[in-house]
């Protein structure tokens, strides 16, 4: 209110307050949904030794995620007397918060599917090994693309250029390396952050498409083929 939204009314403030409050309460509910059943299953002796380690790791990651969320929000409330910029959270902490959430979600999904679905016993052919390696590389690229989106959000970099595929009238904008040292541009220059996110997004869609085309040449179980096809469909929608 003091720095930017001087004409904000109390009902308008309540709207954003309840958004934040709902997000926090939902996060706490997620934490309870992990910890309470885990304690019950542990006490009943339903968890194997390897699964106990995984459950402890997931519960610890849930707690770390909440702590990281608090640390992120705190950065947006710090007073900056010499700055007249729009108050916002640190893009580094926002990316860390999103990244840990993606790791938590992926680990939870992987654990759940490992328990619900029997593992396919496939012959370890050269093509299958290549497909698995390529799938892991594609996963890492998608993860990196998502993290770059957090930097776009944290810096409001989406407001800099709104044309595609060019940025304004140029393929490569003039202010791409305006900051010094050069490395700062990757994380703090809104133009560079948006440019990197575009390149990573295009690379991710290309990688997913290539993964799908390569998978068509290999005899795969129906479940695996459906997963690869779904990945391509979601990538196109995204």
Query: What integer best gives the mean pLDDT of the chain?
Result: 91
pLDDT score of 110: 93
pLDDT at 83 over 80: no
Residues 11 and 39 sit within 8 Å (Cβ to Cβ): no
What are the pLDDT digits (tens) for 202-232? 999 999 999 999 999 998 889 999 999 999 9
Residues 6+ apart with CB under 8 A from 224: 120, 215
Mean pLDDT of 134-147: 97
Mean pLDDT of 142-157: 94
Write phi, then psi, for 2 (nearest 5 degrees): -70, -35
Supply the DSSP symbol for 122: -
pLDDT score of 84: 59
Domain boundaries, the chain: 1-117, 118-237
Residues 197 and 151 sit within 8 Å (Cβ to Cβ): yes
pLDDT at 85 over 70: no
Collapsing DSSP states into helix, strand and coil, what is residue 167? strand
Q: Of the candidates 112, 135, 198, 209, which has an alpha carbon nearest to the alpha carbon of residue 161?
A: 198
The residue with tokens 């610890």 is 60
177: tokens are 């390396």
Confidence band of 81 (pLDDT split at 50, 70, 90): low
């Amino acid at each position: 209110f003091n720095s930017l939204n001087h004409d904000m009314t109390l009902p308008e403030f309540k709207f954003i307050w309840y958004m934040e409050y709902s997000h926090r309460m939902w996060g706490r509910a997620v934490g309870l949904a992990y910890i309470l059943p885990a304690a019950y299953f542990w006490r009943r002796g339903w968890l194997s030794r390897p699964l106990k380690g995984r459950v402890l790791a997931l519960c610890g990651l849930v707690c770390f995620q909440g702590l990281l969320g608090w640390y992120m929000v705190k950065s947006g409330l710090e007073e900056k007397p010499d700055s007249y910029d729009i108050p916002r959270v640190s893009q580094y902490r926002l990316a860390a918060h999103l990244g840990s959430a993606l790791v938590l979600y992926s680990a939870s999904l992987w654990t759940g599917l490992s328990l619900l679905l029997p593992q396919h016993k496939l012959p370890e052919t050269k093509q299958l090994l290549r497909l698995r390696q390529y799938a892991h590389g594609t996963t890492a690229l998608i993860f990196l693309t998502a993290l770059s989106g957090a930097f776009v959000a944290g810096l409001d970099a989406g407001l800099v250029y709104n044309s595609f595929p060019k940025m304004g009238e140029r393929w490569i904008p003039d202010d791409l390396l305006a900051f010094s040292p050069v490395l700062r541009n990757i994380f703090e220059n809104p133009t560079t952050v948006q440019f990197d996110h575009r390149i990573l997004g295009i690379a991710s869609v290309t990688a997913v498409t290539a993964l799908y085309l390569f998978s068509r040449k290999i005899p795969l179980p129906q479940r695996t083929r459906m997963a690869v096809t779904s990945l391509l469909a979601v990538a196109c929608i995204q």
